[in-house]
């Protein structure tokens, strides 16, 4: 076991840290949030140039075939800077679904993901769903001669209005499960209604009205789709989790600096013991979140589905809980300025809330863990 | 010791309920229950005047100035019923903060000039206490009001001035004696349309401005706008705060939040059944219900001047700590009940005018907006940490 | 609504406070714990002399017919002094069961409860039961010509080895519910196995082997027994709760005094902000417990069973939770001495644990509350 | 970055498991799993010797003095397996605290004299650091050792000296130079049967003494019992603590507690089904399981010297805060799982020899005893509050 970063990982982390430091100030992020996309196309091009979008993609698609750990190291640094581009949705979640498919169409799109030309996002949640992990999927896929027609309404499609393609879950009458389909966002019969999210990014409701797609659009058959999707979601949960850990580290830094700078009753805030102790508690929780992240990274490729599920759900729950405490207290220690839009700590909080509510919240994941028996030690 | 509500109080509650049923409209109720910050200003002014016609606008004022003469218990009943029924929450600054101060310390002219529009809701007030860099430390107040003939010339900067952007009047703490470090602070009434006043909205974490910076640049204020004698603001401020010993518990909002959470949880589903039947969710909800109910009894104890084992001056701080902690938890639970729908941004205007559909039911707008705003409740009005300092000092002499 | 104590209540509280101050030092309590009874017969006689055992009893039995509120005021003061005599078990819980019965035998015993001659305790819990509120009761009552025979094993019978009488729950074949029987502790066929509890009091397992009792021993028929028992338990929960609130107040006092006396790094502990803040949090929780107590007191005689149940269970849960925090932190702030047997704060903690585990723990009562719908405000 | 256990380590784990299966007896396992404080002394000494025969007694010692040469990971595996299998927990004071110090700083004579009995478990050690009134403040140490010819004359009083009552030897901090305020502190080895030593048990909250007061009254100690040069105890203490950076996490005990809680919850019932299937209980249990698992990764990071965003000197304190918090919660949950049965007092002796019956199953004794004892874990070895001071200072320079 070795936690040290390889030289390659160090370069990756340093490059991202430098980018965040030099280019990801809050003002430009607020500008991006106000734009039609809810993110910055300039950043997006940079991500492509740096190879970040290609990081975990297969070589055949121009990818670097790096690991989930590498991606998590990158995203942790980006999380410090509240980076909000569709890196994980497109180049991790959907890229995994595409890579795992044998389809020719998929391979072509993967290359476009690597260059940033394609933005692919998951259209999976429907009315009333609380978690991607147990969405029942009512959207319908009907077989026609040369392919399929898709109908239904997807909601909370992240980056849905900016996406070039969707991976859509839909159910063929009579099949047990749902299939996963690749659909161009400009296909006939698709209507999107975009809206802003609290963190400044955007999502959309996407209506599919008898959208025709070729047979090759079927990425995953019902027999395997749910398993592949789970594995894609697991990757998203872990890598977004790394971003939250980055957020937490940034808040520790922001807050301790703030406390040293500001005075009350003629003394620096940092000299008040109650505030010192709060910072210590925040560090304890941040370390817990990081450890939960490592636990999930260690299990992400495990063949033991129970172990993997437990580690992923456990990390999701603990990172969200710890993040809520650390960033919430970060706001508290800043006082009034902490609850304004002009200051970064509130934005970290909103990014955390987005993490908390995506993929199922902590209650959901604790319950999911609880259904998996913990490994029992053997009695002698 | 008698821990029951009297039959008269119960009859009063029925009277209030009947009045609310007759006078509120579904549109107003929808907007109130949406819990955005700040609430709809027209609704509040309208409701102020409706209540005034009934004689119920100003429970905080003495009877001779238009008050209701209710017991604290009865006032508590009234406020709870208004909140739960979805009545607009009247603005506090006039009715509950400066109104009573004017009645107690103001001149006869001030009473005549300011109290009637407060009762009718036609003039709304901003409270200009906080200043940049001053935190909770009043001794470092910097704004000045220098007497020049029959006018004060006011200069300075205020921050966190709630709703200053659409208030006709303001009451400000200013230093009328610049030679003294701790004294010399006065309370003065300023027309917010005076030349020299600039108001800048502060965008809050929830994306809407509900508080403001106020810049005072050589603002001329008539001498008679000072309340009481110069340098007596400390006494007036103490009086003002003592009137609001229980409001920081936010108990009525807490009951409103519980109502809202249950309404959401009856509609949302988990594991194929309504969320409200999910054991884990119920457990969290019940815990909060119980803590809110206990907090209500803490409020009742303060309202009734119950004998206490600890100096009663600590009780406002005790209520605030628990009240703001519950606000954090209640508003979090409400967003949890919504699932990913909680992530959609509804600005204040969007929330009031939201398109309601099966995908986006009417209970979604406002929930996250409120949760984000309520992160401020453990900061404003003396932070949680300041309250703990106060309790340790007052209750334990530590 | 009026929270002020009446003159009578003030006298009661002052008398108890004086007794605690003058006679209930820790050393004598430790001695009592080491005795065969696990409590002090001297205190017990004093309780009788003061009329405390007769407080809520009916006049006909020599009682003072005072209220549950009065009793709670008394027990709060006694809780400050860690008083551990069977006051509540005998003179509240069982006295209520006896008072509510029409039986002649019951009336006679009530008079003995008032004088302290009789110590009556509830023999209700059986193997594996976690709460008196939902004990299924397997013990059997069989009708014989002139009465009943009782068989079964009861466990965690508080003060079981010192009791003169038991109120025993037992089930007649074919009946839906169980009946409640009054049984002399020295009846043939009863075997008791006593043991110490963590707070120094004692309990017993009580085995009933075809114990014959007369027909008049049946205090409550199966049709009404469960309802009356619930009402007796409610009284016990509230009044013991008052004792815990007293404990919490005592710990606040002990701890703040300790912090003012002791020094670390040349400064009194009371000058450290983190410890000040902890004291403040402890007060906030103590106030919550007291309010929950009042809420329960206000509902104890309500005809609305739902309201009563909710308030009682709510108080049980909150008082135990708050008590755990306050007394647990009381130990923490004392440091090493707090975890020794020689110091009072640990004894308060153990008394709290006893409260926590009796009658069902916080999880049980939160769940019980949750099954009762909260009052919904009317829509206009 | 490689987050997997190597195949070799997994094979090692199997080897340990096999060894434990062969060498432990059900009686010993029962007593270990009963988790009383202090554990059974005979079992510990016996197990010490069993492990020594295998060469596994002293993973903390350098190989040349009988250590195992295991990697930190392997040592962690070994300790976890021992704990879960119910092996007696060996006493730390000799094997893990003073043993390594003697190997590092001791004379050749000291090594020869003291290390073999430590390996075999025939001599047990007490740690005499704390003094009354000193709290966590070493600078105020008062015990003295004054050189008189070839002897030190030791006077003073120690408190919280764990297991002093049945230890053959002790290592004590004493002041050999009484003129210096901060320096002059030395570590000295004292035979606990020396004339002038009085040991008084301190009865703990759980009803059993596991810690002692030690009175030193003109105790004569051979000069050669001093470790290293006079006045160098600070360096030795730092070394001693650095060897135990992760032990305060109590991670092995936490896993043992989880095992025990699950075992109880499979047998106890709620609402007609095993407690372990109750949603509320499962939720609490799962939350703790996850936090323990995360803490294990925190331990692994420290053991492997993982790169850290924060000064690594803070990590022992981070582990201790979380570890003791989890101990409070785990032992509370265990008692909750027992219901009213948790109230029965089992002293240490009663717990070892408890009559097991359907009414009082074998999993009852020790649970509450342990819960009560563990209230001390956030106090001993530097209280939770001291740890927070340390973290703020080291990690944030505050």
Note whether C128 contacts D268, CB cutoff 8 Å: yes
Class of domain D125-231: mainly beta
Q: Give me chain D's average pLDDT, please.
A: 95
Helix (H, G, I), strand (E, B) or coil at C176: coil
Tell me whether residue D181 is exposed, middle or buried, using C-beta atoms within 10 angstroms of its C-beta: 0 to 12, 13 to 18, 19 or more: exposed
Neighbours of D160 (CB within 10 A): 25
% of chain D surpassing 70 pLDDT? 99
Give helix then strand counts, H and E, for chain B.
14, 9
Note whether B345 contacts A357, CB cutoff 8 Å: no
Task: Over range C162-168, report the average pLDDT.
Answer: 98
Q: Among 2.40.50.100, 2.40.110.10, 1.25.40.10, 3.40.50.300, name the CATH number for the domain at C121-222.
A: 2.40.110.10
Q: What is the distance in angstroms between the Cα of C279 and the nearest Cα belonging to chain B? A: 7
CATH number assigned to the domain covering D248-397: 1.20.140.10
Chains that touch D (3 or more CB pairs under 8 A): A, B, C
Amino acid C377: pLDDT: 61
D306 and chain C in contact, CB less than 8 A: no
Q: Give me chain C's average pLDDT, please.
A: 95
B interface mutation test: which of A89, A193, A357, A370 has the most B CBs within 10 A? Answer: A357
Amino acid D380: pLDDT: 92
Residue D238 near residue D98 (C-beta atoms within 8 A): no
Note whether B291 contacts C288, CB cutoff 8 Å: yes
Selecting from D269, D375, D384 the residue whose C-beta is nearest the C-beta of C339 gives: D375
Amino acid B240: pLDDT: 92
What pTM was computed for the model? 0.97
Residue C183 pLDDT exceeds 70: yes
Amino acid B273: pLDDT: 96
Task: Over range A200-218, report the average pLDDT.
Answer: 97
How do the domains of chain A map onto residue ranges?
7-118, 121-222, 224-370
| Dihedral sign (CA C16, C316, C374, B23) | positive
Q: Which residues of B touch A363 (CB under 8 A)?
A: 280-281, 284, 336
Q: Which residues of A touch B343 (CB under 8 A)?
A: 156, 197-199, 203, 353-354, 357-358
Q: Which residues of B touch D280 (CB under 8 A)?
A: 279-280, 283
Amino acid A173: pLDDT: 83
Choose among D386, D383, D97, D390: nearest CA to D237.
D97
Selecting from A311, A374, A377 the residue whose C-beta is nearest the C-beta of D84 gives: A377
B295 and chain C in contact, CB less than 8 A: yes
D263 and chain A in contact, CB less than 8 A: no
C131 and chain D in contact, CB less than 8 A: yes
The shares of helix, strand and coil residues in chain A, as percent rounded to the nearest 5, are 55, 15, 25
D287 and chain B in contact, CB less than 8 A: no
The DSSP letter of residue D347 is -
Amino acid A380: pLDDT: 38
pLDDT in tens, A311-337: 999 999 999 999 999 999 999 999 999
Residue of B nearest to D282 (CA): B280
Amino acid D28: pLDDT: 96
B287 and chain D in contact, CB less than 8 A: no
Residue C378 pLDDT exceeds 80: no
Supply the Cα-derived Rg of chain C in whole angstroms.
Answer: 21
Tell me whether residue C142 is exposed, middle or buried, using C-beta atoms within 10 angstroms of its C-beta: 0 to 12, 13 to 18, 19 or more: middle
Note whether B160 contacts A155, CB cutoff 8 Å: no
Q: What is the distance in angstroms between the Cα of D328 and the nearest Cα belonging to chain C? A: 10
Residue of D nearest to C204 (CA): D344
A303 and chain D in contact, CB less than 8 A: no
Q: What is the distance in angstroms between the Cα of A306 and the nearest Cα belonging to chain D? A: 14
A354 and chain B in contact, CB less than 8 A: yes
B275-284: long-range contacts at Cβ-Cβ below 8 A with a sequence spacing of 24 or more? B275/B337, B279/C367, B279/D279, B279/D280, B280/A363, B280/A366, B280/A367, B280/D279, B280/D280, B280/D283, B281/A363, B281/B337, B282/C367, B282/C370, B283/C366, B283/C367, B283/C370, B283/D280, B283/D283, B284/A363, B284/B333
Amino acid C373: pLDDT: 81
Which CA distances in Å does A66 have to A74, A93, A100, A290?
11, 15, 15, 21
Note whether C276 contacts B392, CB cutoff 8 Å: yes
Q: Do domains A7-118 and A224-370 have the same CATH topology?
A: no
Residue D394 pLDDT exceeds 50: yes
How do the domains of chain D map onto residue ranges?
7-90, 125-231, 248-397
pLDDT in tens, A333-344: 999 999 999 999
Amino acid D250: pLDDT: 95
Q: What is the distance in angstroms between the Cα of D270 and the nearest Cα belonging to chain B? A: 14
Q: Which residues of C touch D342 (CB under 8 A)?
A: 353, 357
Residue C207 pLDDT exceeds 60: yes
Residue of C nearest to B280 (CA): C367
Q: Are strands C147-158 and C165-170 parallel, antiparallel or unpaired?
A: unpaired
CATH number assigned to the domain covering C224-370: 1.20.140.10
Amino acid B126: pLDDT: 96
CB-hemisphere CA count at 13 Å for C9?
Answer: 17
Q: Do domains B125-231 and B248-397 have the same CATH topology?
A: no
D interface mutation test: which of B271, B273, B275, B279 has the most D CBs within 10 A? Answer: B279
Residue C380 pLDDT exceeds 50: no
Quote the Cα angle for A282-A286-A288, to 5°.
120
Lowest-confidence region among A177-181, B130-134, C363-367, D71-75:
B130-134
- Angle between the N-to-C axes of helices C222-261 and C344-357, in degrees from 0 to 180, rounded to the nearest 10: 160
D297 and chain A in contact, CB less than 8 A: yes
Amino acid D322: pLDDT: 98
Tell me whether residue B92 is exposed, middle or buried, using C-beta atoms within 10 angstroms of its C-beta: 0 to 12, 13 to 18, 19 or more: middle
Residue C379 pLDDT exceeds 50: no
B14 and chain C in contact, CB less than 8 A: no
Per-residue pLDDT of chain B (398 residues; tens, 9 = 90+): 899 999 999 999 999 999 999 999 999 999 999 999 999 999 999 999 999 999 999 999 999 999 999 999 999 999 999 999 999 999 999 999 999 999 999 999 999 999 999 999 999 999 999 998 765 567 789 999 999 999 999 999 999 999 999 999 999 999 999 887 778 999 999 999 999 999 999 999 999 998 999 999 999 999 999 999 999 999 999 999 888 889 999 999 999 999 999 999 999 999 999 999 999 999 999 999 999 999 999 999 999 999 998 998 899 999 999 999 999 999 999 999 999 999 999 999 999 999 999 999 999 999 999 999 999 999 999 999 999 999 999 999 99
Selecting from A3, A288, A380 the residue whose C-beta is nearest the C-beta of D20 gives: A380
A83 and chain D in contact, CB less than 8 A: no
B273 and chain D in contact, CB less than 8 A: no
pLDDT in tens, D266-302: 999 999 999 999 999 999 999 999 999 999 999 999 9
% of chain C surpassing 70 pLDDT? 99
Note whether D359 contacts C153, CB cutoff 8 Å: yes
Q: Compute the distance between CA of residue B47 and CA of residue C371 in angstroms, rounded to an integer.
A: 38
Lowest-confidence region among A294-303, B128-137, D81-90:
B128-137
DSSP H/E element including B173:
strand B169-175
Q: Among 3.40.190.10, 1.10.540.10, 3.30.70.1230, 1.10.490.10, name the CATH number for the domain at A7-118.
A: 1.10.540.10
A interface mutation test: which of D86, D388, D390 has the most A CBs within 10 A? Answer: D388
Which pLDDT band, with edges at 50, 70 and 90, does A379 fall under?
very low
Note whether B290 contacts C297, CB cutoff 8 Å: no
Which pLDDT band, with edges at 50, 70 and 90, does A378 fall under?
low
Note whether A353 contacts B384, CB cutoff 8 Å: no
B393 and chain A in contact, CB less than 8 A: no
Amino acid B342: pLDDT: 98
Amino acid B245: pLDDT: 87
C interface mutation test: which of A273, A275, A280, A333 has the most C CBs within 10 A? Answer: A273
């Amino acid at each position: 076991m070795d936690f040290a970063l390889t030289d390659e990982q160090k370069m990756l982390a340093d490059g991202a840290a430098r980018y965040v430091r030099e280019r990801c100030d809050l003002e430009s992020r607020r500008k991006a949030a106000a734009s039609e996309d809810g993110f910055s196309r300039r950043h997006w091009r940079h991500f492509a140039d740096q190879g970040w979008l290609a990081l975990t993609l297969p070589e055949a698609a121009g990818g670097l075939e790096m690991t989930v750990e590498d991606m998590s190291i990158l995203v942790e640094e980006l999380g410090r800077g509240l980076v909000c581009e569709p890196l994980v949705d497109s180049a991790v979640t959907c890229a995994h679904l595409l890579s795992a498919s044998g389809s020719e169409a998929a391979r072509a799109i993967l290359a476009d993901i690597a260059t940033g030309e394609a933005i692919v996002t998951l259209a999976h949640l429907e009315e009333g769903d609380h978690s991607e992990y147990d969405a029942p999927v009512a959207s319908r896929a009907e077989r026609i001669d040369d392919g399929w027609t898709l109908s239904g309404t997807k909601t909370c499609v992240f980056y849905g209005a900016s996406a070039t393609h969707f991976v859509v879950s839909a159910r063929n009458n009579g099949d047990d499960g749902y299939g996963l389909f690749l659909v161009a966002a400009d296909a006939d019969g698709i209507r999107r209604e975009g809206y802003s999210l609290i963190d400044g990014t955007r999502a959309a409701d996407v209506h599919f009205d008898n959208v025709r797609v070729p047979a090759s659009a079927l990425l995953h058959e019902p027999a395997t789709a749910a398993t592949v999707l789970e594995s894609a979601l697991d990757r998203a949960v872990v890598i977004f989790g790394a971003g939250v850990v980055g957020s937490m580290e940034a808040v520790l830094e922001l807050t301790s600096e703030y406390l040293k700078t500001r005075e009350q009753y003629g003394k620096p805030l940092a000299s008040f013991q109650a505030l010192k102790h709060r910072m210590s508690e925040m560090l304890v929780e941040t370390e817990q979140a990081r450890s939960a992240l490592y636990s999930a990274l260690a299990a992400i490729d495990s063949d033991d589905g129970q172990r993997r599920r437990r580690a992923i759900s456990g990390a999701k729950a603990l990172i969200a809980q710890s993040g809520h405490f650390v960033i919430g207290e970060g706001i508290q220690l800043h006082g009034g300025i902490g609850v304004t839009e002009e200051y970064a700590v509130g934005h970290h909080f909103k990014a955390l809330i987005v993490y908390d509510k995506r993929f199922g919240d902590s209650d959901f994941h604790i319950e999911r863990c609880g259904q998996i028996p913990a490994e029992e030690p053997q009695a002698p | 010791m008698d821990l029951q509500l009297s039959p008269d109080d119960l009859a009063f509650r029925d009277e209030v309920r009947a009045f609310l049923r007759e006078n509120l409209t579904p549109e107003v109720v929808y907007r109130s229950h949406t819990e955005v910050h700040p609430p709809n200003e027209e609704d509040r002014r309208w409701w102020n005047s409706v209540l005034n016609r009934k004689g119920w606008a100003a429970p905080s004022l003495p009877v001779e100035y238009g008050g209701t003469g209710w017991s604290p218990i009865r006032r508590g009943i009234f406020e709870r019923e208004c909140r739960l029924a979805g009545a607009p929450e009247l603005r506090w600054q006039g009715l509950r903060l400066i109104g009573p101060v004017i009645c107690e310390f103001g001149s006869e002219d001030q009473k005549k000039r300011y109290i009637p529009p407060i009762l009718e809701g036609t003039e709304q007030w901003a409270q200009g206490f906080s200043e940049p860099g001053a935190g909770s430390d009043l001794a470092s107040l910097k704004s000045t009001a220098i007497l020049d003939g029959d006018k004060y010339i006011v200069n300075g900067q205020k921050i966190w001035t709630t709703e200053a952007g659409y208030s006709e009047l303001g009451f400000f703490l200013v230093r009328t004696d610049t030679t003294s470090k701790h004294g010399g602070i006065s309370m003065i009434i300023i027309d917010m349309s005076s030349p020299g006043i600039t108001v800048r909205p502060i965008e809050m974490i929830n994306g809407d401005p509900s508080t403001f910076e106020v810049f005072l640049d050589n603002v001329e204020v008539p001498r008679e706008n000072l309340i009481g004698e110069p340098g007596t603001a400390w006494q007036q401020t103490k009086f003002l705060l003592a009137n609001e010993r229980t409001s920081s518990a936010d108990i009525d909002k807490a009951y409103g939040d519980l109502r809202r959470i249950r309404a959401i949880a009856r509609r949302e589903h988990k594991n194929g059944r309504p969320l409200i039947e999910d054991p884990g969710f119920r457990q969290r909800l019940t815990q909060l219900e119980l803590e809110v109910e206990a907090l209500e009894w803490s409020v009742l104890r303060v309202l009734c001047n119950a004998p206490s084992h600890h100096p009663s001056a600590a009780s406002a701080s005790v209520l605030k700590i628990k009240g703001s902690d519950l606000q954090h938890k209640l508003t979090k639970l409400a967003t949890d009940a919504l699932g990913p729908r909680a992530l959609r941004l509804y600005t204040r205007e969007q929330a009031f005018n939201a398109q309601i559909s099966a995908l986006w039911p009417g209970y979604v707008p406002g929930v996250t907006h409120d949760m984000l705003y309520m992160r401020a409740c453990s900061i404003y009005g003396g932070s949680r940490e300041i309250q703990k300092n106060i309790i340790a000092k007052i209750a334990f002499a530590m």
